[in-house]
Copies of this chain bind each other. A is one copy, B any other.
């Protein structure tokens, strides 16, 4: 994706790289034969194939992928886009997103694809398609849909092969893969209720589809236990630890009582624990805390964090497979992956 006028072409004494023609000349065959040999075509004699492969290897020659792609009119790279919030730029530092990135990298590498990574302003999500528009990538993976559902729909309608990590939403014309957020929310709240918690704070920004679904699960669990939902206890905090600290401090200082917090990410939950501690409240004795994601250090936090585990490594595979299917022309329905409550000390009373 070229975002600027090209700089001067950096013309240095052009390093002379070998090309197929060189190999052909040295081997005393035509480039066609070299091409066939190097691509393992059956219609070249085993002997020459062997000979040419060895020659190429010994000369450290590799096929130029750009030229190959141009000729073949396809390519093997996938663009992975991490939207960021212009104000905070925060969430790319969220370990969860980065874990997803790692998972995608593995899945793509295993299948022989390259991964192009870029960050785009969430307010300009159309740019996510750029790598596809320019023919740089065969498809794009969007990590998180934010509040840009409509823009994503438009991209998909424009024909961009697209898979989004996020929630499944009613009028959705693209393929999403995501955790079962409603269940996740319900599991967390049920668990807190079972621990005898009476007043549970929900922390998360329901503007984001995934969070909205978790909130729905949360409320449902309350309803099933015949508890009222209290708007005061619903903190619409975005995925931003600083905001989490501010919001929770305000709540505490307002004198509102509560004995549990269900935060929509582990990062938020850690911030919550920190604030509680600063206010002299002990976790889990005074306030039980549950997070979301189960990132690496949730288990190493103090206290170890109860959380809803998202299936990150299978997610990478699911996303990549879905994208490949879409590129192959299939219609792939959205997919919801199971989540699981991991109980640790932070919520045990």
Question: Which residues of chain A have a CB within 8 Å of any CB of chain B?
Answer: 1-7, 9-10, 12-15, 17, 39-40, 60, 62-67, 69-70, 72-77, 92-93, 95, 98-99, 101-102, 105-106, 109, 111-112, 114-119, 130-131, 133-136, 158-159, 241, 267, 270-271, 273-274, 277, 296-297, 300-302, 324, 327-329
Contact = CB atoms under 8 A, between A and B. Distances in A.
B95 A134 contact: no
A76 B300 CA distance: 41
Contacts of A93: 95, 98-99, 102, 296
A151 to B, nearest CB: 15
For A101, A106, A131, A297, the residue with the greatest tally of chain B CB atoms inside 10 Å of its CB is A297
Contacts of A267: 297
Contact of A119 (B70, B105, B119): B105
Nearest to A64: B135
Contacts of A106: 119
Given A99-B93, A115-B116, A73 B14 contact: yes
A300 B274 contact: yes
A117 B101 contact: yes
Nearest to A132: B62
A297 B60 CA distance: 45
Contacts of A130: 62
A1 to B, nearest CB: 6
Contacts of A271: 300
Contacts of A74: 9-10
Contacts of A133: 60, 62
A119 B326 CA distance: 25
A62 B105 contact: no
11 contacts: A10-B324, A10-B327, A12-B328, A62-B134, A66-B66, A66-B69, A66-B135, A93-B95, A93-B102, A116-B117, A267-B297
Q: In the complex, which of the residues A39, A65, A324 has the most CB atoms of chain B within 10 Å of its own CB atom?
A: A65
B131 A114 contact: yes
B66 A300 contact: no
Nearest to A120: B109
Contact of A102 (B39, B75, B92, B270): B92
A12 B4 CA distance: 33
Contact of A66 (B3, B102, B117, B136): B136
B273 A302 contact: yes
A81 to B, nearest CB: 11
Nearest to A71: B70
Nearest to A161: B15
Nearest to A72: B9
A267 B295 CA distance: 13
Given A12-B327, A66-B69, 9 more contacts: A10-B74, A66-B70, A66-B75, A105-B118, A114-B116, A114-B118, A270-B300, A274-B302, A277-B302
A76 B159 CA distance: 25
A173 B297 CA distance: 38
A282 to B, nearest CB: 12
Q: Which 6 A-B pairs have the closest CB atoms?
A: A12-B329, A4-B112, A98-B98, A62-B133, A65-B134, A64-B135
A184 to B, nearest CB: 22
